[in-house]
Amino acid sequence: MSDVFVAVEAVVLGIAFTMALYWGMNALIVRLPQKASAALQPWVFIGPVVLLISLFLLYPSVQTLRLSFMDEDIAGNTTWVGLKNFKDIFADENFRQMLFNNLLWIVFVPITVVAIALAIAQFANQVGPLREKIFKSVIFMPMAISFVSASTIWRLLYAYNAEGSTQIGVFNAIATKLGLDPQPWISIETGKLNTILLMVIFVWLNVGYSMVLLSAAIKAVPEETIEAGRVDGANGVQIFFRVILPQIWTTALAVFITTLIGAMKVFDIVLAMTGGNYGTNVLAQNFYLEYFIYGNTGRAMATVVVLMLAIMPVMVYQVRHYRKLEA
């Protein structure tokens, strides 16, 4: 119960402090001459946000970049080593495997999430109001589960015991009931399938949220355009791909980019499921291992810089895309 009280106290005091801060700053600004007050008043509201972004985002980013060119000795002293950390990580065969795994994540996960979400959204919009609510609620439900919790659930689904033992994993229990041999779903022998099986968890978690956004976009499509397509003799598939999809393309693209960024920096699922073993390691998980487990600060920061450089073009494109939508 003490943890609950601490959490409640933090929320209440945090809100109270924020309100007092904005109220006090605004009270001081309005007492200034009108010209100065008008110029400074917007900064009353965006100033703390800019400060927090600088403190918790910009400063750590600069520090990460600086430390990626440095290394620590046994005494904890940092020395400048230039590009050595980057050369070391790219020369490591395991790091190249991580890059390949990240590539698999960004190639397959966003497309799969958008495709499944589109199919579910289109289907759910046609089953009637009551069934639609129930159907969408069930599909959206995994969104309320954390990545670690979801990974724990799927570990029970994938669990494997030696043949002849009682199978506690759901998939292997079903297989044995059907007279099939249990399978070690995640192991060294299954190779690249390990990463695919982890992607399934990410897709399961994100399809519900994507479905809600795409479903809303589909409902916003003018009925006149759909009726015009039917009059012209288009069937259901043609109406979806030639009438509905072009009109919701901006929403589908936004969902795709958001999912892509999430897939590029995936960490929780890999940590909870395999810890990066069995050929499933990715960049974010490697940072955790290098920094917190092995204590290799330079290599850890170099890994983060590579991840940041990979994500940055996608984020720039996303910002430009949203600006075009606003225009």
Q: Say if residue 57 is in the same domain as residue 118.
A: no
Is 115 or 130 the better-scoring residue by pLDDT?
115
Is 319 or 327 the better-scoring residue by pLDDT?
319
For residue 73, being part of any structural domain is answered with: no
For residue 182, being part of any structural domain is answered with: yes
CA distances from 183 to 109, 277, 288 (A): 24, 18, 30
Whether the per-residue pLDDT at 317 is higher than 80: the answer is yes
For residue 160, being part of any structural domain is answered with: yes
Q: Say if residue 161 is in the same domain as residue 230.
A: yes
Q: Say if residue 176 is in the same domain as residue 228.
A: yes
Summarised one tens digit per residue, pLDDT across range 37-89 is 888 888 888 888 888 888 888 888 899 999 999 987 555 667 888 899 999 99
Summarised one tens digit per residue, pLDDT across range 219-240 is 999 999 999 998 888 888 899 9
Range of the domain at 19: 2-67
For residue 311, being part of any structural domain is answered with: yes
- Residue 71: what pLDDT? 85
Q: Please tell me the pTM assigned to this model.
A: 0.83
Average confidence (pLDDT) over 5-9: 82
Domain-ending residue, one of 67, 92, 118: 67
Q: Say if residue 243 is in the same domain as residue 291.
A: yes
Q: Say if residue 63 is in the same domain as residue 141.
A: no
- Residue 75: what pLDDT? 53
Q: Say if residue 30 is in the same domain as residue 95.
A: no
For residue 79, being part of any structural domain is answered with: no
Average confidence (pLDDT) over 83-99: 91
Average confidence (pLDDT) over 153-170: 86
Q: Say if residue 303 is in the same domain as residue 223.
A: yes
C-alpha to C-alpha distance for 214 and 236, rounded to whole angstroms = 18
Domain-ending residue, one of 15, 36, 67: 67
Q: Residue 197's pLDDT band (boundaries 50, 70, 90)?
A: very high
* Angle subtended by helix axes 297-326 and 59-67, to nearest 10: 140
The CATH number of residue 170's host domain is 1.10.3720.10
- The residues, ordered by sequence, that sit 6+ positions from 259 with a Cβ below 8 Å of its Cβ are 109, 110, 113, 114, 206, 210
For residue 286, being part of any structural domain is answered with: yes
**Percentage of the residues of the chain whose pLDDT score is greater than 70:** 96
- Residue 192: what pLDDT? 67
Whether the per-residue pLDDT at 204 is higher than 80: the answer is yes
Q: Say if residue 264 is in the same domain as residue 305.
A: yes
Q: Looking at the 3D structure of the chain, how many domains does it have?
A: 2
Q: Say if residue 60 is in the same domain as residue 108.
A: no
Average confidence (pLDDT) over 291-297: 88
For residue 98, being part of any structural domain is answered with: yes
Q: Say if residue 47 is in the same domain as residue 132.
A: no
Mean of per-residue pLDDT scores for the chain: 87
Whether the per-residue pLDDT at 184 is higher than 80: the answer is yes
Q: Residue 110's pLDDT band (boundaries 50, 70, 90)?
A: very high
For residue 222, being part of any structural domain is answered with: yes
Q: Say if residue 62 is in the same domain as residue 93.
A: no
Q: Say if residue 40 is in the same domain as residue 115.
A: no
**Percentage of the residues of the chain whose pLDDT score is greater than 90:** 41
